[in-house]
Amino acid sequence: MKIFGLAKNYFPAEAEARKAFQAPAEPIVFLKPNTAYLHNHKPFFVPQFMGRIDFETEVVVRICRLGKGIAERFARRYYDALTVGIDFTAHDYLVNAQQNGLPWDLCKGFDGAAVVGEWVAAERLENPDNLHFRLDINGRTVQTGCTADMIFSIDRMISYISRFYTLRTGDLIYTGTPAGSGSVSIGDRLEGWLEGEQLLSFNCK
């Protein structure tokens, strides 16, 4: 299983910020190892030695068939389910990587850094490019988003990624996070929602 992530894939929510925003010309893709995968409501063990750990709430897409060089118009055939997930990021490691031109492997790929909720069949969702999602921590909403605000659509991501990597059944694509990410602490309870349905719930330990 390959786990792909997308960086900088949301337009700013504020109109003024949008005017100054420089959207990337192509999707910015990174990888997480399969040991980052966390599911079935299992607890996330906060790696305290890494400093501040940030949550990034995202819609996650599950690939359902083998594909390479997929045309964007056919991309919809290559995923069968979506959910809400958390792309955990070691904040201090990311800042260091960005400042020094280093890879993102450590800040994005540590154990448990790719959390997924329960899957929803794609056919149940009327429009994958207009999905509302949110994250609650300890009963308080801390981040909201809508896939309509993505720079690159799901179909565009699949087509682009498949130019470089053969997609296989079970591969995952984290589609990027909107504004509003923040840090987690031991004892926090996280609950993720997609189109009003709770799909994700786990504790930080």
DSSP string, 47-107: -GGG--EEE-EEEEEEE-S-BSS--GGGGGGGEEEEEEEEE-EEHHHHHHHHHHT--SHHH
Closest CA to 8 of 178, 180, 142: 178
Secondary structure class of 142 (helix, strand, coil): strand
- Mean pLDDT over residues 24-33, rounded? 96
Over pLDDT 70: what percentage of the chain?
Answer: 97
Q: Which pairs from 69-72 meet CB under 8 Å and 24+ separation?
A: 69/162, 69/163, 70/158, 70/159, 70/162, 70/167, 71/159, 72/155, 72/156, 72/158, 72/159
- Mean pLDDT over residues 62-82, rounded? 98
φ, ψ (nearest 5 deg) of residue 132: -95, 135
Per-residue pLDDT at 42 exceeds 80: yes
- pTM equals 0.95
Which pLDDT belongs to residue 21? 78
Measured CA to CA, the distance from residue 76 to residue 132 in angstroms comes to 19
Per-residue pLDDT at 177 exceeds 80: yes
Per-residue pLDDT at 15 exceeds 70: no
| Cβ atoms 172, 62 nearer than 8 A | yes
The pair of structure tokens assigned to 87 is 């792309």
Question: At a CB cut-off of 8 Å and minimum separation 6, what does 67 contact?
Answer: 78, 158, 162, 166, 167
Question: At a CB cut-off of 8 Å and minimum separation 6, what does 95 contact?
Answer: none
| Cβ atoms 98, 8 nearer than 8 A | no
Which pLDDT belongs to residue 19? 65
Per-residue pLDDT at 17 exceeds 90: no
CA angle centred on 7, ends 176 and 15, rounded to 5°: 75
Which pLDDT belongs to residue 18? 67
Over pLDDT 90: what percentage of the chain?
Answer: 93
Going by pLDDT thresholds of 50, 70 and 90, the confidence category of residue 10 is: very high
DSSP letter assigned to residue 196: T
- Mean pLDDT over residues 121-147, rounded? 96
Going by pLDDT thresholds of 50, 70 and 90, the confidence category of residue 83 is: very high
Give me the chain's average pLDDT, please. Answer: 95
Which pLDDT belongs to residue 12? 81
Per-residue pLDDT at 141 exceeds 80: yes
Amino acid identity of residue 150, one-letter, is M
Q: Which residue has the higher pLDDT, 126 or 139?
A: 139
Per-residue pLDDT at 16 exceeds 90: no
